[in-house]
Structure 1
Amino acid sequence: MKDMVSLARLDGMAQAELCARGEVSAAELFDACLARIDALNPLLRSVVTVAREPTRPAKPGPFSGVPFLVKDATPWPGMRWSMGSRLFAANVAQQQTPYGRQLDESGLVCVGKSATSEFGLIGSTETLLEGVTHNPWNLAHSATGSSGGSAVAVAAGLVPLAHANDGGGSIRIPASACGLFGFKPSRGLTVSASFASSDFGDMTSDHCISRSVRDSALFLSITEDRSRGAPVGFVRDPIARKLRIATWTRTVMGSEPEPAVRRAYDEAVALLTELGHEVEPIAPPAFDGPALGDAFFLVSGAAIAGVVELVDRTRDIPVQSDELEPFTWALVDTFLARGPDALPQSRAVFARAVHTYHEATRGYDVVLTPTIATEPWPIGHLSPVLGREELLRRTARAVGYTPIQNIAGCPGMSVPLHFPDGGLPIGTHFAAAPGADALLLGLAYQLEQARPWKDRWAPYSIPALRP
């Protein structure tokens, strides 16, 4: 058996290969993973529920025996499903989703649930239910969100990969902050990971956060909805042609990124040029930023208002004020105050933004921007107890690039290309047209070869603390 530290250095495919060759058993992989969680999770607080024993034997498959985490926004049978909310603190999932069934069939073994902001609404993984999830690169800083628990667990070497989902950047932003690869698939590419539907849910894509591109590519291949036409399949190789890449730095709100983010962006442009791609600065899409931000959070509020209404119908007392965080209530109240035209108006804003985005990027293979406009923020900067207006203002400053891909249904990815000395990682964002997931993954392989990141470990990670 390999020790828990040497296993922590391996990606999921490498762990599965060891298991397939009989050099380590699925039980040993699971136990080593538990040991890593026990050693470091009390400090980082990335895992909110731990399965002390596998719920079932690992099935044969490409990831057979590999331990992973499921984001607590998503159900997994027999495990607590709180969605980061005190309202569901004691909720235990009973049924498996189609998405979960395909993960199970791949041989992945769920070892627990990862932390999320309440209902995935805030870009920092700190809740009144679970507390704060700390960034392993700097414990005073946020892991961002909402998939911060998954990103921290992978960055710390607790698991080789972790499920996550993304409704406005919630895979890509934590991947950027934690020095990892974060891919968001095209809308509708994968099978359903939910039991309910809403406008916000329709913008949300499920996938994973990983250390290696190949783990992400394999994860995508096993979760594809193969009834929708020709599948992407398992993308294995770097792209072999020159790409035409459009690029800009201005956020949807019209501001420019912080200097450290600009340096990371400039390095990425230089690398792409060195690799032979045609990188062309263009005028950013002329979005109505305030209207787009307002519509995004109205849609979010509508989804949570639906949850509150459902709970109110199924129990004797209505949802109480202390069962949801202040920001969550503010979104619900704002949506309800807008009346029945709120959702149709938000959809119209989205439609105009999508048209603007596609017109601006027509003729290009890829769009390059920063992932976030600021360096990863300190804990408390996006706290759920802040007032609604202040929290929205801070979010708009930082999260100015990623939500449009959710609205437009495009694939996007944050690639960890910049690791400043003494600072936190800063990812670079790439997007493509809906359905061009294979193209993006091919570019990711090329970037991974050119600037390898697999051996860059956070200071508070198993390999860094126990070399």
Structure 2
Amino acid sequence: MANLRFLSRLDGVAQAELVARGELSAAEVLAACAERIEAMNPLIRAIPTLDLERARQVKPPPGPLAGVPFLVKDVTPYPGLRWSLGSRLFARNFAAPATPYSQRLDEAGLVTVGKTATSEFGMLGSTETVLEGVTHNPWDLTLSASGSSGGSAAAVAAGIVPLAHANDGGGSIRIPASVCGLFGFKPSRGRCVPASPGASDFGALVYDHCISRSVRDSALLLSLTEARDGALPPVGYVREPIARRLRIATWTRTLTGEDPEPAVRRAYDEAVALCESLGHEVEPVSPPDVDGLELGDAFFLVAGALLTGVVGTVGPQRGHPVERHELEPFTWSLVEEFSRRGPGALSEARAVFARSTERYLAAVAPYDVVLTPTLADTPWRLGHLSPLVPREELLRRTARAVGYTPIHNVTGSPAMSVPLHWTDGGVPIGTHFAAAPGAEALLLGLAYQLEAARPWQNRWAPYSYPRMFDS
């Protein structure tokens, strides 16, 4: 095989164009990806499930991303691949039926080679599990790739694949994108076809899309997976920077009342200056009157309801109850807390979501976009948000770090983390932008503009394939 190491530097659109023009075959592109997995995955541990033999049998249809290697986050089913949800309870679970989302991925021509690591059931902001171990951040191996889509972010940051599936229940696309120096876009509620079976209060907070290096990869995939008969008018493939001046509201204090670290504040100040230099009107405002701690409590309560349902279903199906040791301590604590508070607490959580949505959307209604940091803290070390940390301390640490992103899951708003800043020590810090429900085109247009003004695609992590093998 010819030296195809250069492929690690190309985004998905560019790789697909090579295949479409006949300059490379899908088999050659896949072989190059297999080489990158062999070189990088033992170091960063992003891919717990791999089936290259199956992928070699795939003949991708002539879709817009035909021949591009792809990975699916392991909280989401994909036909023929293990579906563990990062949990020992499902370590031997294999997904058989296709979903509307997996069918769209296949129709796009993507070649799914495996699954990416996640926190157990996608509940925590670090990809560390008893089942799979830890996933390392390619920018610094002592740092977490965060979560719960840390495996997807690490795989893209390491140059293994140009984009990877991710989903977002409280920031799980945007937060890993921030700490891994990538573009992470969360669509509006109802924008994309369903990715997982079933419905729940927690499921209503979860949005599927991807983490990518380029804005155009994310924009193209969104156009290929959006619902065509939904309540929202279609976005289509957004290809160009926005051409009009935006009114941007901005604040720095999280909804849990925390101020960002100084390094995060510097990144935020740079982003404000950049937006102003691009001709946008940026207006500092007070954060909306939303109680972030109350919101976090409601979030984990509906998560506990979902997990209680899982435990209650699995036990009878297999003939003996789920035991404490089969789940991580934090996961089990969510089940116990929901049991203590009872099903009636769900109505309280729903009321919190409704009240928070009303207040947030009313506060930001006069503006096109909201700009904040993505995270209050710089990327954290492995272990900081481990599921083995005692429950109350883990909740406190999570509330401190993740105070900007969850509100958009509740309101159904599109939001994105854009890699605009690196610290003096070379660690990425993302900037967060959100818009009104249904306004994906506006946000993607802004993202193209920011990408052109501060290009990031050629900034590679020290522990990435291009830096280690194609420098």
TM-score range, shorter chain: over 0.9
Q: Which has the higher mean CA deviation after the structures are superposed, 287-296 or 298-307?
A: 287-296
Question: What's the counterpart of residue 164 of structure 1?
Answer: 166
CA distance in structure 1 between the partners assigned to 2:31 and 2:320 by the alignment: 43
CA distance in structure 2 between the partners assigned to 1:346 and 1:117 by the alignment: 23
- Aligned counterpart for 2:139 among listed residues 137, 140, 152: 137
CA distance in structure 2 between the partners assigned to 1:146 and 1:464 by the alignment: 26
Question: What's the counterpart of residue 37 of structure 1?
Answer: 37
Note the alpha carbon deviations across 1:377-418, whole angstroms, 9 max, x for none.
000000101111110000000000000000000000000000
Note the alpha carbon deviations across 1:322-343, whole angstroms, 9 max, x for none.
1110000001110111012111
Q: Is the 8 A contact 2:249 2:367 kept in 1?
A: yes
Q: Is the 8 A contact 2:200 2:306 kept in 1?
A: yes
Question: What's the counterpart of residue 264 of structure 1?
Answer: 267
Question: What's the counterpart of residue 78 of structure 1?
Answer: 80
Question: What's the counterpart of residue 413 of structure 2?
Answer: 410
Q: Is the 8 A contact 1:143 1:149 kept in 2?
A: yes
Question: What's the counterpart of residue 125 of structure 2?
Answer: 123
Which amino acid letter does the alignment assign opposite residue 299 of structure 1?
Answer: V
Question: What's the counterpart of residue 401 of structure 2?
Answer: 398
CA distance in structure 2 between the partners assigned to 1:340 and 1:195 by the alignment: 22
Question: What's the counterpart of residue 179 of structure 2?
Answer: 177
Matched, 1:330 2:344: no
Question: What's the counterpart of residue 289 of structure 1?
Answer: 292
Question: What's the counterpart of residue 279 of structure 2?
Answer: 276
CA distance in structure 1 between the partners assigned to 2:60 and 2:323 by the alignment: 41
Q: Which has the higher mean CA deviation after the structures are superposed, 324-333 or 283-292?
A: 283-292
Alignment TM-score, normalising by the size of structure 2: 0.98
Matched, 1:369 2:372: yes
Alignment of 1:114-263 (within 5 A): 114-228=116-230, 230-263=233-266
Question: What's the counterpart of residue 458 of structure 2?
Answer: 455
Q: Is the 8 A contact 2:259 2:376 kept in 1?
A: yes
Q: Is the 8 A contact 2:144 2:381 kept in 1?
A: yes
Note the alpha carbon deviations across 1:104-140, whole angstroms, 9 max, x for none.
0010000110000000000000000000000000000
Q: Is the 8 A contact 2:248 2:369 kept in 1?
A: yes
CA distance in structure 2 between the partners assigned to 1:2 and 1:322 by the alignment: 49
Q: CA, structure 1 residues 384+4, in 2 after alignment: closer, same or farther (shift >3 Å)? A: farther
Which amino acid letter does the alignment assign opposite residue 62 of structure 1?
Answer: P
Q: Which has the higher mean CA deviation after the structures are superposed, 455-464 or 228-237?
A: 228-237
- Aligned counterpart for 2:90 among listed residues 79, 83, 88: 88
Question: What's the counterpart of residue 22 of structure 2?
Answer: 22
Q: CA, structure 1 residues 241+2, in 2 after alignment: closer, same or farther (shift >3 Å)? A: farther
- When the two chains are superposed, the root-mean-square deviation of aligned CA atoms in Å is 0.9
Alignment TM-score, normalising by the size of structure 1: 0.99
CA distance in structure 1 between the partners assigned to 2:332 and 2:3 by the alignment: 47
Note the alpha carbon deviations across 1:334-375, whole angstroms, 9 max, x for none.
011101211100000111111110121111000000000000
Q: Which has the higher mean CA deviation after the structures are superposed, 138-147 or 352-361?
A: 352-361
CA distance in structure 2 between the partners assigned to 1:324 and 1:245 by the alignment: 43
Measure how far apart 1:2 and its partner are.
5.6
Question: What's the counterpart of residue 107 of structure 2?
Answer: 105
Measure how far apart 1:182 and its partner are.
0.1
Q: CA, structure 1 residues 91+219, in 2 after alignment: closer, same or farther (shift >3 Å)? A: same
Note the alpha carbon deviations across 1:62-86, whole angstroms, 9 max, x for none.
0000001000010111111100000
Measure how far apart 1:313 and its partner are.
2.1
Which 4+ stretches in 1 moved above 6 angstroms? Answer: none
Q: Which has the higher mean CA deviation after the structures are superposed, 415-424 or 13-22?
A: 415-424
Question: What's the counterpart of residue 436 of structure 1?
Answer: 439
CA distance in structure 2 between the partners assigned to 1:362 and 1:74 by the alignment: 33
Which amino acid letter does the alignment assign opposite residue 24 of structure 1?
Answer: L
Q: Secondary structure at the match of 1:227?
A: coil
In structure 1, the gaps of 5 or more residues are none
Note the alpha carbon deviations across 1:184-212, whole angstroms, 9 max, x for none.
00000000001111111111000000000
Q: Is the 8 A contact 2:292 2:403 kept in 1?
A: no
Q: Is the 8 A contact 1:123 1:395 kept in 2?
A: yes
Q: Is the 8 A contact 1:69 1:113 kept in 2?
A: yes
Q: Is the 8 A contact 1:115 1:149 kept in 2?
A: yes
CA distance in structure 2 between the partners assigned to 1:412 and 1:6 by the alignment: 31
